[in-house]
Amino acid sequence: MTRRAAGDQPDQAYFDVMARNSDRHWWYRARWELVAELLADHVPPGGTAIDVGCGTGEVLALLADAGARRVVGSDLSTDALGHAASRAGARARGGALVVSRAEQLPFPTAGVDVLVSLEVIEHLDSDLTALREYRRVLRPGGTMLVTVPAYESLWGDHDDWAGHRRRYGAGQLARAVRRCGFEVDRTSYYFSFLVVPAFLVRRTPLRRLVSSTDEEASSSALSDRVLSTAARLERAALRRMDRLPFGLSILALARAV
């Protein structure tokens, strides 16, 4: 894939914003709820699950709730892991945290049942290198869930701030996943209701009034209720339709072969 020039990797301020908002902001809540639905029946009881690029650690408890006995979060950022370690019960529930690059994981070959990597591979110089490493650590038949931002045409200040290298199309992501030793069970766009607002903020004069670096971090009580409802309705649609044709983000659920 062609690398899109971007800024450095996320800094402490980026993860501070994530930690402040991850439990209260509709965007994060909606993502965790979607991940929980997608992984239902994919986490074997007593299995091992890892979250690569775990950020501030919210998914670790989700994986434990889904039935994993051993849960590990890895991230290159010690700032992110510091927030993850401070989350209540992160370690008490059998979780572990390690400093690691996604492209070189400190886990044995074929020792993992489920691997989650949310909004990670778009940060990397080589997404394929990371996906091959994900395949290495997964046992045959193990489940991988990855998510990425959609549409290169919607590149904005937030992408530079977050240190993105690229945005994706659904077909582009599916081809990369298959190329690295996976069978794709499902791809879909999501956050479909954000496409028009994102276009207006990033591609019209409105961008002078709204900083796209604040899109996920700012919310009012009213917008939180409205957007939480929209996300809930979208998840219901995904249960019926399996795939949405557009959205601001993309998911791929795949099996190691």
Tokens of 13: 């301020």
Q: Range with the lowest mean pLDDT among 101-110, 178-187, 215-224, 247-256?
A: 215-224
Q: Range with the lowest mean pLDDT among 74-88, 135-149, 160-174, 219-233?
A: 74-88
Strands 112-118, 249-256: pairing is unpaired
Q: What is the pLDDT of residue 219?
A: 66
> Tens digit of pLDDT for each residue in 22-76?
778 899 999 999 999 999 999 999 999 999 999 889 899 899 999 999 999 999 9
* Cβ neighbours, 10 Å, residue 213: 17
Q: Angle of helix 127-137 relative to helix 170-179, nearest 10 degrees?
A: 50
- Quickly state the pLDDT bin for 9 (edges 50, 70, 90): low
In this predicted structure, the answer to whether residue 4 has a pLDDT above a threshold of 50 is no
What value does the mean pLDDT of the chain take? Answer: 89
For the chain, domain boundaries: 12-256
> Tens digit of pLDDT for each residue in 109-150?
999 999 999 999 999 999 999 999 999 999 999 999 999 999
Nearest to 15 by CA among 28, 30, 32, 5: 28
What pTM, to 2 d.p., does this model score?
Answer: 0.90
Q: What is the pLDDT of residue 2?
A: 40
Q: Higher-confidence residue: 213 or 122?
A: 122
Q: Name the helix (H) or strand (E) containing 162.
A: helix 157-162
Structural contact between residues 112 and 151, judged by C-beta atoms closer than 8 angstroms: no
Output phi, psi for 73, to 5 deg.
Answer: -115, 130
The CATH code that applies to domain 12-256 is: 3.40.50.150
